Amino acid sequence: MTDNACREVFENLKEGQFNPLLEGVNGSYRFDIKGAGSWHVAVEDGRIYARESDESAECRIECEAEDFLLIIQGQRNLITAAMQGRVSVSGDLALAQKFHGLVGAGAGQRAQPRSKPS
């Protein structure tokens, strides 16, 4: 059930959870996920506050539930999904870029850092 899975993604975000990659970032997102609902996510200097709401936000991301989950799981790249027309991104694109930085690179693209010889 992809809509429930989407809901879980937001419910698993703890109130005030800190993400170091968002340190210094202030802004708000609205995720409109077709068939699943709308969520408002506020970021205050790296602390995340998510709730189910269709309140307007600085950055709006719209997509199908399946695409959303693939992006969250790092199986689909947010930027190329937007270029393909699978995801609609509007408003503050710099915030969208920050979100992109939090999720995976896309299917099969992950790699690990190379270890250096000691």
Partner 1 sequence: MSAESVSILDGSTFVVSDRRGDIAATPTETTGLFHADTRFLSRWVLTVNGVRLNSLSTDDIDYFASQFFLVPGTGTVYVDSPLSVVRRRAVGGGFHEDLTIVNHTPDEMDLDVAIEADADFADIFEVKDALSKKGEHYRKEQGGSLVLGYRRERFIRETHIRAEPPARVENGGLRYSIHLGPHQEWNARFDVEARSGGMLERKLPRRGDEPDAESGEAARKPVTAAPALICPWRPLERTYRRSLIDLSALRFYPLLAPNDALPAAGLPWFMAVFGRDSILTSFQALPFAPDLAATTLKVLGARQGTRYDDFRDEEPGKILHESRSGEMTAFEERPHSPYFGTADATPLFLVLLDEYERWTGNGELVRGLEKEARAALRWIDESGDRDGDGYVEYDRRNKETGLENQCWKDSWDSIRFADGALAPLPRATCEIQGYVYDAKRRCARLAREFWNDPDLAGRLEREAAELKQRFNRDFWVEERGFFALALDGEKRRVDSLTSNIGHLLWSGIAEPDKAEACMRHLMSDALFSGWGVRTMASTEGGYNPIGYHVGTVWPHDNSFIALGLRHYGYRSEAARVALGILEAANFFNHRLPEAFAGYPRNKTRFPVEYPTACSPQAWATGAPLLFLRSLLGLEPVGDHLLVDPAIPKKLERIELMGIPGRWGSADAFGRGLLEVESGADAVERAI
What residues line the site for partner 1 (CB under 8 A)?
Answer: 21, 23-24, 77, 79-80, 82-90, 93-94, 96-97, 101-102, 104-106, 108-114, 116-117
* Closest distance of CB 19 from partner 1, Å: 12
Closer Cβ to partner 1, 8 or 102, answer by number: 102
CA distance 76 to 105: 7
The residues, any chain, with a CB within 8 Å of residue 71's CB and separated by 6 or more, are 63, 77, 78, 81, 87, 103, 104
Cα-based angle 118, 110, 5 (whole degrees, multiple of 5): 135
Give the nearer residue to partner 1 in terms of CB position, either 23 or 54. 23
Instruction: With beta carbons less than 8 A apart as the criterion, state whether 59 and 91 touch.
Output: yes
Minimum Å distance from CB 108 to partner 1? 8
Given a contact cutoff of 8 angstroms between Cβ atoms, the answer to whether 107 and 81 are in contact is: no
Of 1 and 112, nearer to partner 1 (C-beta) is: 112
Provide, rounded to whole angstroms, the least separation between the CB of residue 28 and partner 1: 18
